[in-house]
Amino acid sequence: MGATRPQHLLRNQHRPSIIFGLFVGFGDPGVARLNGLPDEMIMQEAQSPRILIVRLSAIGDVVHGLPVLCALRDHFPEAHLGWVVERRAAAILRGHRALDELIELPRGWLKSPGEVWRLRRRLRTLRPGIVVDLQGLAKSAVVAWLSGARRRIGFGDEKGRELSRWLNNERVDAPAAHVIDANLQLLAPVGIESPAVRFDMPETAADGKTIEAMIKQMRLVEGFALLNPGAGWPSKRWPTERFAVVAEHLGRRRGLPSIVVWAGDRERQWAELIMTCSRSHGRLAPPTSLTELAALARRAALFVGSDTGPLHIAAAVGTPCVGLYGPMPAARNGPYGPQHVVIQKRLFEGTSRQRRAAPSDLMEAIQVDDVCRACDEILRQQGLGAA
């Protein structure tokens, strides 16, 4: 984790907003609360604060926010902790033992005045005194602003984009290389520095039972690897046929069958191709929810995939991962922890839009032998698989 103390700029920004004033009135909504609080309420809030985390999407980024939730719970055991997230990633957070309240938003909520108004009413019921904006975009900062919290903590450096540095009133420069460490540096203004990194992803009894039955039915109780050929961006995809060669290597050389996970029809086609081309060493996973995927990953010996949600879920539940990286820097977005191996042959500089459209040769530069060697090294460290 980064040890550098963030330079936080505690300049309160009480600026009128014409756009958002349509929903909540003019001026900073935290000002009235700050001016009207008696001393005893301020003391009570310091001991048991009401804190809201905002990280709306995507799945992997929500996973990267979990250490912030755990650190807040450890530091403020009596706090009321909430999280605002878009529905597609909400399953990651449901039932988390550190979380008191989860607010789920539909996709496109910001374009609907009705949804914005409903969100405002829910947030004002929650009454957070502190909001931590992990996303650093206009839409996440709008959520923070709508809440009425008088302390809205966000990134003050280049990670704070669009209107977020204008709407958040406590801005933190977070120089840590990895996104998880940078997220945790946002907690310095509330007295948390260099906390232990924990995810504590929950597993329900139902998910565990479903996955145990699946593993038994597929006759994989002796162990298996997970392969994930999908990715959110085409520029993050490693060639499907190369996954098939890795599956064959794991089966032939290490005695370890592979389960190929997928989401959606297109990824299922890729998974079926891997199964066909791996000479029966790859098995097609049944459809899984996000929480079932987490339960499956928790029982795997190894996970292989590119920079996408399933990789970060696997890392969060403690499964050793081989991460394949092209357009995004592995130093920032790689699976967190020393038990993982990250492969990145070429670096790419550019905006998020440019990275999405990056050339395929960034991923194609990663050779099958690179991945097989990484898998072998992880399995040797675990004492698993034949030599």
- How many DSSP H helices and E strands does the chain contain? 17, 13
The predicted structure's pLDDT at residue 5: 38
pLDDT tens digits along 173-223 = 999 999 999 999 999 999 999 999 999 999 999 999 999 999 999 999 999
Mean pLDDT throughout 323-352? 96
Mean pLDDT throughout 24-33? 45
Residue 3 scores a pLDDT above 60: no
The predicted structure's pLDDT at residue 18: 32
Helix (H, G, I), strand (E, B) or coil at 94: coil
Mean pLDDT throughout 316-336? 98
Mean pLDDT throughout 88-96? 97
Residues written for the chain:
387
The predicted structure's pLDDT at residue 383: 83
- CA–CA distance, 353 with 143 (Å, rounded to integer): 24
> How many CA atoms does the CB half-sphere of 5 hold within 13 Å?
6
pLDDT tens digits along 49-84 = 999 999 999 999 999 999 999 999 999 999 999 999
Query: Around Cβ 216, how many Cβ atoms within 10 Å?
Result: 10
Fold identical between 7-190 and 205-382? yes
| 8-state DSSP, 30 | H
pLDDT tier for residue 44 given thresholds of 50, 70 and 90:
low
- Supply the CATH classification number for the domain 7-190: 3.40.50.2000
List residues bridging with 306 in a β-sheet: 324
pTM of the entire predicted model: 0.90
Question: Is 102 in contact with 93 (CB distance < 8 Å)?
Answer: yes
Query: Around Cβ 336, how many Cβ atoms within 10 Å?
Result: 21
Domain boundaries, the chain: 7-190, 205-382
Q: What is the rounded (10 degree) CA torsion for 208, 213, 219, 223?
A: 10
Residue 302 scores a pLDDT above 80: yes
Residue type, position 120, single letter: R
CATH class name, domain 205-382:
alpha beta
